[in-house]
Structure 1
């Protein structure tokens, strides 16, 4: 469990002090993948660097499994740092070392004996799918392969937390997929808590359990992705779910009821909407929206229109079966919009 409370961090700027983090608080349950998202300058990378103890916050606390890292110093601080693996945004592999040699670096620094070191490197190369590239140098690897070596190196000391800063930046979709698959394996097979700093919402869709949205150094939204996509006015829903076609209010006059609905899980792929229409003898039309997948869970967002005396009953029935239903205004036919 990672708990951040009232974290602040400022840097000197041309016009005075710039506050990169302004009272940031969030919790990351153990064994989950958290996506930290936001526009450039929102404070994402600064937050990651503070959690990794690469930057000292001005105030606040960072607790990992109950230990406040900010209060540590000396040997205790060095030991705590070893529990946090970091995958930097830039390519940081040593060109004169092979893939295996780069992964071995932290183990050499920790004075791990040769046979144990060799075994650990082999395990990590297998985890990231690069056993056949052990003797290759970085310039002989693709960008995605180098990123996977960097992940393996960050895991060499068996950390409980892994921080990845823009791990898919500048990678093509296929290569991005291979890197995200590795990060998902890190969580599922090793039980490591993963924090991913990213501007790419496709990363959140693919593997994140939780999300923290930053704006101007503040957390403006935080929680389970599947909970937030169903919340009214959610920034996460706006960013992750299919867009709804803009249907004019005048057009709504053609229907008795219009509503936006969000369906999560089985309801998104089942026959819920046709069954509602059949049960309540209403005509149901889709005006916009579509389906997506969030970490293997199907999620749909539609704008639907209903005609019939039991339109309200049909919408109520849909809501009682797990859908989030938000009614849209309709006009009496002939009324100006």
Structure 2
């Protein structure tokens, strides 16, 4: 749905131009949740403003459904902006209730009362705050206020929902509630969602695709579950459990292998079946289990003993496990195994 091509943006600085984005190219598939992850100052908010058509790049192209937005006249640019819902944290009006804040864009667009009430009611249900409809912002928790902000961004049925740092300063429960709403917006309303964040946990929880932004450049991008299976991937290193095992534990085995397993069947069955099938003792020496969305993903350092240890690892790899094999050498030193 959205394609960013060779996007560059700079701002004046005391020592010359500050390059916020440099030659950024990114695809946001229709109906997906794409996370742009990077530290403070990496260019995430600048990219979000450009994609929301709130600012123009120095060079490069932003396409919506194949249409180049850079050549739009003011009237068509306003129409394109209406297709984008921007989540604005902290922008709720204190004198309006939760329902009133959600309804405000509809009032400004001249939508009649019955239609407004129906739309607002559906969105209150989507964000799980039907019982808070008549509450003013001061009576809502920060997480509830953030969910109202998401609902207000959705009220115009946008094709793209853009959220810049939507969980900032929220506690765990508040952040989880916001991410659940973003996921429901994609699943139930068909919205394409673009989330900019410095929190890798946000990506782990809801994203289908991810792009790493650092120093104004995309350093890695792709489908999340594919990237976490690539041992060279920075995404895998940041999202998967760390492997920390004592040397003594490593030295007790004939083989050591780092293995990534994705999915319920792989995580639950491959290792026990390999043990039984090849008469090999397989022990988890380090690592752990996490979830990418609803998919379990394991990253283990395995210790294997037995004459068919190599065969067992090959069998695991043939069934989708990502295996990096190592051999324990003399005095417990670990040497690379071809």
Q: What is the TM-score with the length of structure 1 in the denominator?
A: 0.95
CA shift, 1:106, in A, is 1.3
SS at match of 2:17: strand
Query: Could you say which residue in structure 1 is the equivalent of 2:300?
Result: 302
Q: Could you tell me whether the CA contact under 8 Å between 1:252 and 1:331 is conserved in 2?
A: no
The superposition leaves residues 37-87 of structure 1 with CA deviations (integer Å, 9 ceiling, x where unpaired) of: 111111111111100011211111111111222221211000000000001
Which segments of 5 or more consecutive residues in structure 2 lack a partner in the other structure? none
1:173, CA displacement in angstroms? 0.9
Change (3 A) 1:252 1:119: closer
Which residue matches 1:94? 93
Is the CA contact 1:267–1:322 (under 8 Å) kept in the aligned structure 2? no
Matched with 1:9 is: 9
Q: Say whether 1:191 aligns with 2:182.
A: no
Q: Say which of 290, 293, 303 aligns to 1:292.
A: 290
Q: Deviations over 1:211-269 (max 9, x none)?
A: 11101011111111100000121111111111101554x86454321110000002443
Structure 1: gaps (5+ residues): none
Summarize the alignment of residues 141-160 of structure 1 with structure 2, pairs less than 5 Å apart: 141-160=140-159
CA deviations 1:113-151 (Å, max 9, x no partner) are 232222222222222122222222111211111111111
CA contact (8 A) 1:252 1:258 kept: yes
In structure 1, what is the equivalent of residue 53 of structure 2? Answer: 53
Q: After the TM superposition, which residues 1-337 of structure 1 pair with which residues of structure 2 at under 5 Å, given as runs?
A: 1-88=1-88, 90-248=89-247, 252-333=250-331
Q: Is the 8 A contact 2:94 2:137 kept in 1?
A: yes
In 2: Cα distance, 1:189 partner to 1:127 partner: 9
Distance 1:131 1:63 in 2: 36
Give the SS at the match of 1:16.
coil
Q: Distance in 1 between matches of 2:142 and 2:333?
A: 59
Q: Report SS of the residue matched to 1:35.
A: strand
Aligned residues: 335
Q: SS at 1:222's partner residue? A: strand
Q: Report the alpha carbon displacement of residue 283 of structure 1 after superposing the two structures with TM.
A: 2.0
TM-score by length of structure 2 reads: 0.94
CA distance in 2: counterparts of 1:70 and 1:128, whole angstroms: 34
Cα deviation for residue 322 of structure 1 reads 0.9
Moved over 4 A (4+): 250-253, 333-337
